[in-house]
Amino acid sequence: DAEKIDYKGKIKQLLIDKNAVLVAHYYTDPEIQALAEETGGCVADSLEMARFGKEHPATTLIVAGVKFMGETAKVLTPHKTVLMPTLEATCSLDLGCPIEEFNKFCDQHPERTVVVYANTSTAVKARADWIVTSSCALEIVEHLDEQGETILWGPDKHLGAYIEKQTDADMIMWDGACIVHDEFKTKALNDMKALHPDAAVLVHPESPLDVVALADAVGSTSQLIKAAQDMPNQKFIVATDRGIFYKMQQLCPDKEFFEAPTAGEGATCRSCAHCPWMAMNGLKAIHDSLIDGEGREIFVDNDLREGALKSLGRMLDFSA
């Protein structure tokens, strides 16, 4: 509608005026992903967002995603202004892993290598030896296991359980979950599979292990998009946030995608998966952040930044 077109136009001009670039996650709304593409920004998974923001010459990054993504950008590029449409956009994994308690957990197991999922605060990252995203978690834990290291893993218990199963590494887990992926259930997914027997099932590993077990491909958002392109199937049932359909449909216009149901019973999607925090990233909020960064700019404590830079740096070097 006219109001939205107006915001788009204004944002485009503001991005140029402020030497800013839009860095968006695959779970943001389609209009935001489209705008990032049109303006030379990126639409990406959390690992690629970190890399893009670090390497892009713009002096201001607008991170459309959730807070940990903005904090990661600031840790990697402290000299850049990092804005977010709203600082309220958090993540249940981040909320469920407060630093005081996580420190206690780590202190109880000083012999273990602390491997932390990127969906956490800068303070938790500073406590970690390694950061991982779902793109590189499996390879990094495999590598550490081969070195004979034992792992303290946090905060996503489902991703941790999946990695433990795949690698057989010695892991103890923090008890956290993504509220969006936690809602996928095997019963409903099996019912849907029965309706579409020729569909391949794509699952993000933040989903429960029994749901992951039903998958034909498991992976990060970017890996699931690649699977949709590479697999010969014409139909896919996708267990992750529905924001991902924008890119899947764009890259595979002739294929058919179905949202995996999040309800416990039945094969229809009663409450389809969409992260409430990703949904906070609207065009108006992006526009407003460019007009007035007050209350929308990311700052990180300098000591924490140095600690987090070490663990993030290991991840980036490993997956380069």
The interface partner of residue 221, options being ligand 13P, ligand SF4, none and the CB cut-off 5 to 8 Å by kind, is ligand 13P
Residue 190 known to bind ligand: no
Instruction: Figure out which of the listed residues 133, 281, 289, 311 binds ligand 13P, where binding follows CB under 6 A.
Output: 133
Q: Is 167 in the site for ligand 13P (CB under 6 A)?
A: no
Contact predicate 109/172, CB 8 Å: yes
Residue 162 known to bind ligand: no
Residue 205 known to bind ligand: yes
Helices and strands (H, E) in the chain, number of each type: 15, 12
The region of 79-87, 131-139, 189-197, 294-302 touching ligand 13P under the rule CB under 6 A is 131-139
Q: Return the SS3 of 254.
A: coil
Q: Return the SS3 of 50.
A: helix
Q: Quote the least distance from Cβ 133 to ligand 13P, whole Å.
A: 4
How many Cβ atoms are within 10 Å of 300's Cβ, its own excluded? 23
Where does this chain bind ligand SF4 (CB under 6 A)? 66, 91-93, 119, 178-180, 206, 241, 275, 277-278
Q: Which two three-digit tokens encode residue 50?
A: 């970190």
Place of tokens 């792992």: 151
Contact predicate 90/178, CB 8 Å: no
The interface partner of residue 277, options being ligand SF4, ligand 13P, none and the CB cut-off 5 to 8 Å by kind, is ligand SF4
* Residue whose CB is less far from ligand SF4, 15 or 49: 49
Report the relative pairing of strands 200-203 and 60-64 from DSSP bridges: unpaired
Look at residues 135, 161, 181 and name the one whose alpha carbon lies nearest to residue 189.
Answer: 181
Phi, psi dihedral angles at 146 (to 5 degrees) = -65, -30
Residue 196 known to bind ligand: no
* Residue whose CB is less far from ligand SF4, 8 or 219: 219
Look at residues 33, 79, 25, 28 and name the one whose alpha carbon lies nearest to residue 50.
Answer: 25
Instruction: Figure out which of the listed residues 7, 33, 41, 46 binds ligand 13P, where binding follows CB under 6 A.
Output: 46
Q: Quote the least distance from Cβ 47 to ligand 13P, whole Å.
A: 6
Interface residues with ligand 13P (CB under 6 A) are: 45-47, 119, 133-135, 178, 206, 220-221
Residues annotated in a binding site for [4Fe-4S] cluster: 91, 178, 275
